[in-house]
Amino acid sequence: MNIGERFVYFPTREPFDTPAGFDDVTFQNKSGHTLHAWFLPAKGAQPGEILPAVLHAHGNAGNVSLHSSFSSFLTNRALHVLVFDYRGYGRSDDAPINRRALLEDTQAALAYLRTRSDVDPDRIGLYGVSLGGVPALHAAAQDPRVPAVATLSAFSSWKTVAADHAPIVGSLLIRAGLDPVDAVRQLAPRPLLLVHGDADAIVRRHHMARLETAASEAGVPVTTHTARGADHNDLIFTHPAASEAIADFFVEHLNSPPGP
């Protein structure tokens, strides 16, 4: 981990309760760490009913207790959801965090979902929120079985987002690598949805434009949704059209026949 990345992550490990209807699950990553997650069954699903699922790679600060509301609305649309904590977050094993660790943990969560008897292993969409866009996009880029990817308030590259906040030294303190702008170029022919608020002061809207351009130039079917007046953390709560766009996207692409 380079100097700049040491100051990126803000996990919390205080105790929290599991909401009624959420299932506590654990699984291991390739490094042997045990990761904790919440499995949110689709509303109205019969026990053991096989349905599509969405894997939610959450944003930076906090843990699943603060992030599940960014994806729980999907269960209203006959979709199972898994939201998990990376190592060092919440009830997951405490271990050093870096961007490659995020990717490894996301891949472990995807592998776990594919083992569940109530999830169709070929209809699992990836959904990355903010920082979670990094592992979600790269996990999808490396795994052609993932049929569709959506991001919410994702940044395009580490150096660019660092420069946004520290114009002189930001890009010098953090290295390139596992940048979302590179991952989106590898998604074709699978669809991509980019959602962003035009008043986002943490990850500015120009990141969505960069991701859209890179994806389009690589032949990726990309759709964007801009939430007018939305900031980084309030978008999903104050702009219901954004939630509807995300849900519609996954319902369409996880229920349609797989592409070539």
Structural domain includes residue 259:
no
Mean model confidence pLDDT for the chain: 93
Give pLDDT, residue 111: 98
pLDDT at 74 over 80: yes
Query: For the segment 19-67, what is each residue's pLDDT rounded down to a tens digit?
Result: 999 999 999 999 999 999 999 999 999 988 999 999 999 999 899 999 9
> Alpha-carbon distance 138 to 181, whole Å?
10
End-to-end CA distance of the chain: 38
The answer to whether 181 and 214 have CB atoms below 8 angstroms apart is yes
> Alpha-carbon distance 55 to 111, whole Å?
10
pLDDT bin (cut points 50, 70, 90) of residue 92 is very high
How many whole angstroms from its chain centre is CA 222? 16
* CATH code where residue 30 lies: 3.40.50.1820
- In this structure, how many other beta carbons lie within 10 angstroms of the beta carbon of residue 44? 9
> Residue for token digits 């900031």?
231
> Alpha-carbon distance 150 to 105, whole Å?
18
pLDDT at 170 over 70: no
Percent of the chain with pLDDT over 70: 94
Structural domain includes residue 260:
no
Structural domain includes residue 209:
yes
**H or E element, residue 242:** helix 240-254
pLDDT at 259 over 50: no
Query: For the segment 193-242, what is each residue's pLDDT rounded down to a tens digit?
Result: 999 999 999 999 999 999 999 999 999 999 999 999 999 999 999 999 99
> Alpha-carbon distance 248 to 80, whole Å?
14
pLDDT bin (cut points 50, 70, 90) of residue 176 is confident
Structural domain includes residue 82:
yes
Burial of 148 per CB tally in 10 Å (0-12, 13-18, 19+): buried
Q: List the beta bridge partners of residue 51.
A: 119
Give pLDDT, residue 1: 47
> Residue for token digits 């979600």?
136
Highest mean pLDDT among 5-19, 60-74, 169-183: 60-74
Structural domain includes residue 129:
yes
pLDDT at 183 over 50: yes
Question: How many separate domains does the chain show?
Answer: 1
Give pLDDT, residue 258: 45
What lies within 8 Å, CB to CB, of 240 at 6+ separation is none
User: Cis peptide before 189, with omega less than 30 degrees from 0?
Assistant: yes
Give pLDDT, residue 260: 40
Percent of the chain with pLDDT over 90: 86
Q: What is the CA radius of gyration of the chain?
A: 17
Query: For the segment 107-131, what is each residue's pLDDT rounded down to a tens digit?
Result: 999 999 999 999 999 999 999 999 9
* Residue range(s) defining the domain that contains residue 58: 4-254
Inter-axis angle of helices 133-141 and 99-115, to 10 degrees?
Answer: 60
What lies within 8 Å, CB to CB, of 35 at 6+ separation is 26, 27, 28, 29, 84, 85, 86, 87, 92, 93, 105, 108, 109
Total residues found in the chain within this entry: 260
Structural domain includes residue 76:
yes
pTM for the structure as a whole: 0.95
Structural domain includes residue 79:
yes
Structural domain includes residue 125:
yes
Rounded mean pLDDT, 156-171: 82
